[in-house]
């Protein structure tokens, strides 16, 4: 009365393997798509920031950034503002903002005199906390 546990004497081992070739093909196609589209997604103005060894500053709300490009064009929120109108515009913007802090992001090709003149206009608008945006060395 002996029973065989082999199920008929023949033992067959079934090997199952996952075919990863379609997965690799899909991943390579996605990689190529992301590599092609990533440079197109970059936005902003072309400026070269000066490099410093100082550490960053943490803020609790969205920082207000004033950008000065190579051609001495001042941009706030994507809108160009002439330096003559800067004081009036900043007074209107910061009238209801509790945090009177501004960051100036100037291209390193812009001369110091223009940046100082811009900072004087910012101070004349009543904003005393002025930071300069730089890149770490």
Residue ranges of domains in the chain:
51-136
Q: Is the pLDDT of residue 60 over 60?
A: no
Instruction: Please check whether the domain covering 51-136 is classified as CATH 3.30.420.270.
Output: yes
Count of beta carbons in the 10 Å neighbourhood of residue 127 = 22
Structure confidence at residue 26 (pLDDT)? 94
| Percent of the chain scoring above 70 in pLDDT | 81
Mean pLDDT of the chain: 81
Residue 25 has pLDDT above 90, yes or no: yes
Q: Is the pLDDT of residue 61 over 70?
A: no
pTM of the model: 0.55
3-state secondary structure of 61: coil
Torsion of CA 74, 76, 81, 84, to 10 degrees: -80
For residue 98, the model assigns a pLDDT of 80
Whole-angstrom distance, CA of residue 132 vs CA of residue 50 = 10
Q: What is the mean pLDDT of residues 73-89?
A: 89
Is residue 117 classed as helix, strand or coil in its secondary structure?
A: helix
pLDDT reported for residue 73? 92
């Amino acid at each position: 009365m002996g029973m065989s546990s082999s199920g008929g004497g023949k033992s067959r081992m079934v090997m199952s393997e996952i075919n990863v070739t379609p997965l690799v093909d899909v991943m390579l196609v996605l990689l190529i798509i992301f590599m092609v589209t990533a440079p197109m997604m970059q936005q902003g103005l072309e400026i070269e920031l000066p490099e410093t060894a100082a550490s960053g500053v943490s803020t609790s709300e969205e920082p207000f950034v004033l950008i000065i490009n190579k051609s001495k064009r001042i941009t706030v929120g994507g809108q160009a503002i002439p330096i003559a109108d800067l004081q009036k515009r900043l007074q209107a913007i910061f009238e209801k903002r509790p945090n009177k802090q501004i960051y100036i992001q100037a291209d390193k090709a812009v001369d110091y005199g223009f940046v100082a003149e811009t900072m004087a206009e910012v101070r004349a608008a009543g904003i005393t906390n002025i930071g300069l945006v730089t890149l770490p060395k």
